Structure 1
Amino acid sequence: MSDIPESVRRTVIKSIYHKADELGWDGLSPADRTTWYDRWIDDEMLGGVLTRYMPRERARMWIKDVPMKHYNRARSGIGPYADLVSTPLPSAYDIARVALGEDWTVLSGTLREKPNRCQVTDGQKQMLLIWGNPRNLKSLVWAGLNARVDKLPPPIVVISLLQGERLTESERRRHQEVCKLAGLNVRVITSRATRTTPVDRGGSPMRLPDG
C-alpha cells in the first residue's frame, strides 16, 4: 500500500471523502456501504487508479481501511487527512465552547483520538472532554473510566448528534444512566457539517446543549 505515490494517495482520498459527503455516509447501512465500496472500485477515477498499484481486492480493502477508517476523525480535524475533507464536523474547540461555555478552550498538545478527546480549560479549571456519536458511547464511557483511574482532569462525555439525528427518550435515559453509573457527566449537542472552501476552515454552526 505504501507503493502508492503520496500525491496520488491524497487525490484519491480527497475524491472518496467528497463522494462520502454527498452520500451522507454516517446514515448509510452496512449493506449500503458495502455496495458503495464495490462501486468505487468500479469507478475509473478511484478503483481504476488504485488497481495500477495493487490487486482489485486489496484496493477495496485499502479504501475501507485507510481513507474511510479515518473519515470521521478527519472531519473532526484530527489525523493525517484532515485537510482533505470539504464538510468538516465541529472541531474540538467548537465542542468545548458549546458543551461547556464560551470561556472554555483546548489545551495545546492534548488532542487524542479513538475516541476523540482533549483537555480543556476556562483559565481556572481543567476537564477532559470526550466526544463522539451515540454509536460510540461504549468507547466514550471506557475512555472516561480510564481517565478517572489515571487521575486525569475530571472527564465529561459529550454525545454529538448531526443535524437531523435524534435520540429517543429511552435512548437519552439509557445514555444518562450508563454515564451516571460510571460516575461521568454527559451532555448532548447537535451540530451540522458545513461545506467549506480550502481557505474557510472555521467552526461549524452548532446548537446549544440539550442537557
Structure 2
Amino acid sequence: MSDIQDPLRREIIAEIYRRADELGWDGLSISERSTWYNQWVDDDQIGGVLTRYMPRERARLWIKDVPMKHYNRARSGIGPYASLIRNPLPGAAQISQLAFGREWVVVEGTLQEKPNRCHLASGAEYLQMIWGTSRNLQSLIWAGLNARVDGGPTPVLVVTTRQGERLSEGEQARHQRLGELAGLEVRHVTTRATRGPSNRAAGG
C-alpha cells in the first residue's frame, strides 16, 4: 500500500467505515463479515482502486487487517483513522462522565489502548479507567490486575453497552462478582454513537 497516495488511502478507509456503520458491523457474524469483505473487494470504489496497487487477495487482507482492525478504536476517537469516522462512539472524556461524574477529567497523555484505558483526576484524587464492551471483559480484568501490580492510580473497570443493546441483571451481577474476585470495581454505562467529529479529548 506504499504506492498509493495518503489522501486516496484515507478516502478508501473513510468509505469502508461509512459502509460498516450502515451495516451495523458489531452485530454481524464472522461469516457475514467475510461476505462483506469479498463484496468490498469486488466494489469499484474500494477493491477497484485497491487492485490497481495489489493483487485481489492482498486487497481483501488489507481491508480486514488495516481499516477494520482499527475500526472500533477509531469509533472511540483513538488511533490514526479516528477522524474518518462519521458517527463516533463516546470517547474517554464522555465515558468518564457517564461512569464517574463531570468532576472527573482525563489526564492528558495517559490514554492507551488494547484495552482502552486512561487516568482520570478529580482535584487531588486519581484513578485509572479501563473500559470496553462485555465481550472484552477478560482483557479488562487482566489489564486491571496488571495495573494493580504496577502501582499507580486505582483501576476501575467500565463495561460499556451501546444503546439498543442490553445486559441482563444476571450478566451485570456476574461481571460484578468476577470483579470482586479480582479485587476490581466494575461499573456499567450505556453509550450511543454521536454525529460529528470524534471527541478529541478521548485521544486520536
Q: Specify the TM-score bucket, using the shorter chain as the normaliser.
A: over 0.9
Is the Cα–Cα contact under 8 Å of residues 82 and 198 in structure 2 kept in the other structure?
A: no
- Counterpart in 1 of 2:154? 154
Q: Separation in 2 of the partners of 1:132 and 1:178?
A: 15
Q: Using the TM superposition, give the Cα deviation of residue 175 of structure 1 relative to its aligned residue in structure 2, in angstroms.
A: 1.1
Q: Which runs of 5+ in 2 are unaligned?
A: none
Per-residue deviation, 1:104: 0.3
1:88 corresponds in structure 2 to 88
Contact 2:104/2:122 (<8 A) preserved? yes
1:201 offset after TM fit, Å? Answer: 4.3
Checking the alignment, whether the CA contact within 8 Å between 2:77 and 2:198 is kept in structure 1 is no
SS of 1:172's equivalent in the other structure is: helix
Q: Could you tell me how far apart the structure 1 residues matched to 2:34 and 2:16 are?
A: 14
Amino acid at match of 1:155: P
Deviations along 1:126-177, one digit per CA (max 9) or x if unpaired, are 0000001111101111110000000021000001111011112332122111
1:125-164 aligned within 5 A: 125-164=125-164
For 2:52 and 2:175, how far apart are their aligned partners in 1? 47
**1:1-211 residue pairs with structure 2 within 5 A?**
1-196=1-196, 200-201=197-198
Q: What is the CA distance between 1:202 and its match in structure 2? A: 5.2
Gaps of 5+ in 1: 204-211
Q: Which has the higher contact order (CA 8 A, sep 6+)?
A: 2
Instruction: State the superposition RMSD in angstroms.
Output: 1.2
1:48 positional shift: 0.6
In the alignment, the residues of structure 1 paired with residue 96 and residue 15 of structure 2 have an alpha-carbon distance, to the nearest angstrom, of: 30
Q: Aligned-pair distance for 1:2?
A: 2.5
Where 1:127 maps in the other structure, the secondary structure is strand
C-alpha change, 1:112 and 1:202, in structure 2 (3 Å) is closer
Deviations 1:46-85 (A, max 9, x none): 0111111111011001000000000010111100001000
State how far apart, in whole Å, the 1-side matches of 2:52 and 2:169 are. Answer: 50
Residue 80 of structure 1: SS of its match in structure 2?
Answer: coil
